[in-house]
Amino acid sequence: MVMTVQALGPSSLGTCGRRESGNCVVKAALAQRKALCHGYCTRYKSYHAVKNVTERRLASTATHVVVKCASSVSSAVPDTAQSREELALIEALLGIQGRGRVAAPQQLEAVQRAIDALEEAGGVQDPTLSPLIEGRWQLMFTTRPGTASPIQRTFVGVDAFTVFQEIELTGTTDPRVSNIVRASESIGELKVEAAATRESNKRILFRFDKAAFDFKFLPFKVPYPVPFKLLGDEAKGWLDTTYLSPSGTIRISRGNKGSTFILQKNLDPRQQLLQAVATGTNVEKAIEVLVSLNPTKDCTDIGGLKGQWRLLWNSQAENANWIQKSSVKLKNWQIYYDNTRLENLVEFLPGLKLRAGASTLAASEERQDVKIEGASLELGSLRIPVNITGEGYVDILYLDQKLKISRGNKGSMFLHVREE
């Protein structure tokens, strides 16, 4: 269930859900005994289940936040290789766009390693017989062979659409597998349904038989113009579940056309933020939640910052400089070289870039003073100096191995994802 809880400013001392004993400091854990919540554990530096919150620490002004809470679960999640590989899979998915359509080779390799490890671990032994497979799953990643379905080719690679799969096999005389593409809460969705049967403990057979658009602004559904009965075997298929997590939150499936699918029931706060960015809804709210879970004490330490960061989203203040305003829709990177030097790189067109260099100085564990010392316009190998200077600061509000959230001295907000 989803609950609004208090005391995000404080940390809480709770029993770590990844160990049978021992405590860890968990940010934004639920201050209620015998409840299991997902918070950020500073011991394992990951999001996972936490139970039995007993004490508040570092008391400060309380705020409210929405957290995923499974209060019906009473047993701890063991610290197993399987749970570590699930976390590795989620980490690998962060920053991939289009559910796999836009990804660097290193990202795809990391995803494949996590898939292989989880399939080897096995998860739930008979996934299609387990009640954990039932319900609505959100598609997070898929491969796209040339034989992929039209829906998969058209919608799945666009992050603005949210894609779900619903499975209903038990307690019904009409078992179903349905694929759902949601445009937005205000516009509506397309639902493609298939009659389903269990062929084995891992395989579901299905045959698509109906589909319709459900627009919020119309009092009726609009049929999807595909004559399923005339498609014959093209309307049939199968889905093998090769991994189902014991918690029922992660599923890996392979389809008859060669696609691999990664689906989740619950998203961690970082995934929720990336989804908000993709759909353009409630981004500031998702940022507020994630900032309150910041796992890094010293955000200005170069050990966490060094490397290349790609800009995913920003909100520009009215008094932002022309470079920031002009680069909102362009490819944009921030590159940290060491404790004293960074670069901002904006790509206007392939081969045409603006590179601005700056010196930095850590003013606190959160704030960096920044002095822009010049820039150059690059056209291929040609560099043209540009007279750009300025001073300011940036507050790094959230930092982990994948994401960085910062706020400039003029109030602009930035979300970056680390690139290999």
Has residue 272 been placed in a domain?
no
| Residue 397 contacts residue 297 (beta carbons within 8 Å) | no
Tell me what the mean pLDDT of segment 164-171 comes to.
95
Top pLDDT among 64 and 165 is at: 165
Query: Mean of the per-residue pLDDT values for the chain?
Result: 80
Does one domain contain both 173 and 303? no
Has residue 251 been placed in a domain?
yes
pLDDT of residue 339: 86
Q: Which of 328, 324, 331 is nearest to 310 (CA)?
A: 331
Has residue 283 been placed in a domain?
no
Domain end call among 45, 68, 91 = 68
pLDDT of residue 53: 40
pLDDT of residue 159: 84
Does one domain contain both 193 and 253? yes
pLDDT of residue 143: 87
> Can you give the residue range of the structural domain that contains 27?
2-68
Whole-model pTM: value is: 0.74
Confidence category of residue 326, pLDDT binned at 50, 70, 90: low
Does one domain contain both 335 and 252? no
Residues 6+ apart with CB under 8 A from 127: 133, 201, 202, 241, 243, 244, 251
Confidence category of residue 227, pLDDT binned at 50, 70, 90: confident
Does one domain contain both 18 and 92? no
Does one domain contain both 224 and 355? no
pLDDT of residue 45: 42
CATH of the domain at 110: 2.40.128
Has residue 14 been placed in a domain?
yes
- Among the ranges 24-28, 82-86, 180-184, 294-298, which has the highest mean pLDDT value? 294-298
Q: DSSP class of residue 69?
A: B
Does one domain contain both 133 and 259? yes
Does one domain contain both 155 and 128? yes
Q: Which of 67, 95, 89, 45 is nearest to 274 (CA)?
A: 95
Strand ranges for 271-381 from DSSP E: 307-315, 331-338, 341-349, 352-362, 367-379
Does one domain contain both 114 and 251? yes
pLDDT of residue 328: 62
**247's tokens:** 């918690």
Per-residue exposure over 3-12, b if at least 16 CB sit within 10 Å of its own CB, e if not: eebebbbbbb
Does one domain contain both 171 and 41? no
Q: Which of 17, 80, 19, 78 is nearest to 53 (CA)?
A: 17
What percentage of the chain exceeds 90 in pLDDT? 59
| Residue 16 contacts residue 23 (beta carbons within 8 Å) | yes
